[in-house]
Chain A
């Protein structure tokens, strides 16, 4: 791989000036993707500057990866080329906020936490509570279609993003959608950008619909001895008139990794369901009452109802479980799987068998919207029965038993497990879809992160060509090497 020439770097530096162009190799470590270090990082402050940078990249054939908080930069394939990090942290303004209309327009580099604070002053919020909350930005959350447990109540980004402005890989500043809550004018190009990992365009503005903060929030944590009971509880909720905003089920490993198990110990109970109910006092009380009855009917071992400051911890646990798994082991491999509710039970059983077969631990979280996260971790002594279906028996700190084995052997077991999981979720009867969101670079080189290619791949290639004809944006990072 040949990096950009000095002449090219000089041209780049001329665009924004030396102060906003990083070229020293130590500072550039922070922008590495899969061990590939760019030759420069640039920090534009406007959409016009972003367009200039992309146009220069097209002219000079430089590969650009957009980023800002860099908490999710590791998601995606090993970049084929990576010359310039396009750091959008300087585009962090709220461009329009009309609390009365519950609509908002922001630049991509704004931190979600900062934005939520501003919205809270007007009694509103954005249902985008994603992992790495201290660093995550709007642009990154949209470009990775980051999972938010609030999906149960508010849908995913495609349901509350109203429109976007962006710079295509051809350097055109364009937009689609609008700023109002209802609009069918023109093609919904912005939907293509959600989850596209920056491979089509650089997002420069996102318009959202905002939501009123509830008067009260109650968090309910139920613990069960086995996955069957926990699933039965979840099914009962889905078939009830209740409208929880969050409903996440965690297996024993996930409960431990997320910190939920230590915070809410339950003897002989291993599976946990975390629910958030919000609204008026009457609505919250109704949820708490009905859920307690349903939990009892499903033979819950424990049921806790938390309000105020106490309620924050379990919500943080389900939001940050992926991050905590990644922090637990450098080998952690995280799969994101879209499941059909009807196949959830079989999924849990298959997955436990696959993890056992590969001698790995699997932290599983299952969201009400059908999104499951599986974090494969080196097997620890901590869980006596890692099938995840029985109680936690140890309480020591995790120790990687795999650390003694050769790195290659460990990698092989991860690779085999990933392949089996993706195959088992996507077969005809299961009807699910999955991909690997995070894993070590070495593993990325051995496996297909996106599962089997599907019949619509040729259309996706066309989309890529329309937006990024010269392949300057995050080359080969997306699905099937797009």
Chain B
């Protein structure tokens, strides 16, 4: 994603021991280890506003390789951070404390497709959409569909517990993972869960998914595949007022209709997207709702009719129904390429991921607008309205002194509002290094103490993805001095 950087690159103060680099090269071959400065530049960013440069990048080909990497790293007390496609939006794959980044692009095989049991076993580097492509001829698909699904990897999805538009009806990544192979920081390989829908014992798979690489490194994933629906209908509700759109979402939810997806784009965002993608969004409206209903033909017909009624009753000027697969794809192309489109207009943007109870959508969007005015920022809104997962995009220019700090302050105010509404800090992007200092807004010291103990028990030396998820405090067993980051730039 095209973005400006909030901070200049950090020069590493902790060059790796040459013996470690030699050891890694001996283990993986010269073509699987990068340590030259110009090579490392590519890996200092992800989809977030964060930045942190590794001292070494490695490309494991097997679980065995990962085990050896982890062992060597431990010997040299060096952090290891996993990375898939680098599309993450919270700095999860960035080496905040420096060290080794293990890129999973060469562990990208689908190991097994078990159609009868509706499972696929894949390596972490497999691209999300490739799973669906590999099974669609069997009438199956993999439900979680992050906007970056053409490039993001299953390993990253699992680490961040990624969502996507269609998780409204089908759940996020954790609801579609039944088992994992993980490498512990001491190099032990452990299998948790399996192909069955439940396993006696504590739900370690449930703990691992969304733990952002801070407990163990995932090397194999068993996925649940879903059966493709019989019918799909995609609708576009066009509104002249944002409030009318948000009230429609509240009413759809209240009536107990669960669309497969319910996305909202505000007027500014949809115009920006339209100029780039030409998806057919009307440029002169204040908001659109992109809704999809799936399932039995009978149910789809009824829900589509009811949704149209709700939208019209709440002031929609028009409700369009996609006539064919082409029109449908175009509408989704507009939605899924939105961030890229905005990147053409603004040197940088800061995307938030707060969640609110869906009944509070109208007042929350008004509050977001107020905060934008207060801090003098354009804030675009394109988000998963159906599950109350907001993605306010604060456009800023990092070249203007102080603008980034102001942007972060505005972001914090929005997040505080979400939490005051009974919501959450992050719905699908993860905490990473971007929001770890915001965790106390949602969790008490006791909550965080238990989470910290969990991490300390699994990752005792703190070498796996250090300084992520939990606030940096004393006694966390973390390594090294942290660089300047968004998180640490925030007021306490």
Contact A100 B171 (CB under 8 A): no
Contact B207 A188 (CB under 8 A): yes
Contact A242 B454 (CB under 8 A): no
Give the residue of A175, A286, A462 whose beta carbon is less than 8 angstroms from that of B458: A462
State which size class the interface on A falls in: 35 or more
Q: Which residues of the other chain, A, contact B359 by a CB distance below 8 angstroms?
A: 98, 100-101
Task: Give complex CA distance A433, B206 in Å.
Answer: 17
Contact B447 A192 (CB under 8 A): no
Contact A155 B171 (CB under 8 A): yes
Specify which of A182, A280, A435, A457 lies most central, judged by the most chain B CB atoms within 10 Å of its CB: A182
Task: Give complex CA distance A201, B343 in Å.
Answer: 47
B227 CB-CB contact with A under 8 Å: yes
Q: Which residues of the other chain, B, contact A409 by a CB distance below 8 angstroms?
A: none
A192-B206 contact given A103-B357, A181-B388, A434-B200, CB 8 Å threshold: yes
B387 CB-CB contact with A under 8 Å: yes
Instruction: Count A/B pairs, Cβ under 8 Å.
Output: 244
A158-B206 contact given A189-B454, A370-B197, CB 8 Å threshold: yes
Give the residue of B422, B425, B446 whose beta carbon is less than 8 angstroms from that of A174: B446
Contact B299 A174 (CB under 8 A): no
Contact A187 B454 (CB under 8 A): yes
Q: Which of B176-206 contact A (CB under 8 A)?
A: 190-192, 194-204, 206
Contact B442 A182 (CB under 8 A): no
Contact A456 B204 (CB under 8 A): yes
Segment at the A interface, from B333-341, B374-382, B427-435: B427-435
Least Cβ distance of B235 to chain A in Å?
Answer: 18
A90 CB-CB contact with B under 8 Å: no
Least Cβ distance of B121 to chain A in Å?
Answer: 12
B469 CB-CB contact with A under 8 Å: yes
B295 CB-CB contact with A under 8 Å: yes
Least Cβ distance of B456 to chain A in Å?
Answer: 8
Q: Which residues of the other chain, B, contact A232 by a CB distance below 8 angstroms?
A: none
Give the residue of B201, B425, B427 whose beta carbon is less than 8 angstroms from that of A460: B201
Contact A156 B197 (CB under 8 A): yes
Q: Which residues of the other chain, B, contact A241 by a CB distance below 8 angstroms?
A: 227, 229-230, 295-296
A400 CB-CB contact with B under 8 Å: no
Give the residue of A186, A242, A342 whose beta carbon is less than 8 angstroms from that of B443: A186
Q: Which of A430-463 contact B (CB under 8 A)?
A: 431-435, 450-451, 454-460, 462-463
Least Cβ distance of A376 to chain B in Å?
Answer: 18
Task: Give complex CA distance A192, B195 in Å.
Answer: 18
Contact A185 B444 (CB under 8 A): no
Segment at the B interface, from A107-115, A261-269, A309-317, A333-341: A333-341
Segment at the A interface, from B40-48, B55-63, B68-76, B159-167: B159-167
Q: Which residues of the other chain, A, contact B458 by a CB distance below 8 angstroms?
A: 459, 462
Contact B200 A191 (CB under 8 A): no
B407 CB-CB contact with A under 8 Å: no
Chain A interface residues toward B at CB < 8 A: 96, 98-103, 123-124, 145, 155-156, 158-159, 168, 172-176, 178-189, 191-192, 194-196, 200, 211-213, 239, 241-243, 279-280, 282-283, 285-286, 338-342, 369-371, 431-435, 450-451, 454-460, 462-467, 478-480
Query: Which 10 A-B pairs rank lowest in CB-CB distance, beginning with the nearest?
Result: A212-B256, A191-B206, A241-B230, A338-B196, A183-B424, A282-B298, A182-B427, A101-B357, A100-B359, A185-B425
Q: A172-B450, A185-B435 are in contact. List 20 more A-B contacts (CB 8 A).
A: A101-B358, A102-B256, A173-B446, A174-B444, A174-B446, A179-B357, A180-B357, A181-B387, A181-B388, A184-B210, A185-B424, A185-B425, A186-B469, A192-B202, A192-B203, A241-B229, A242-B296, A338-B197, A371-B198, A459-B458
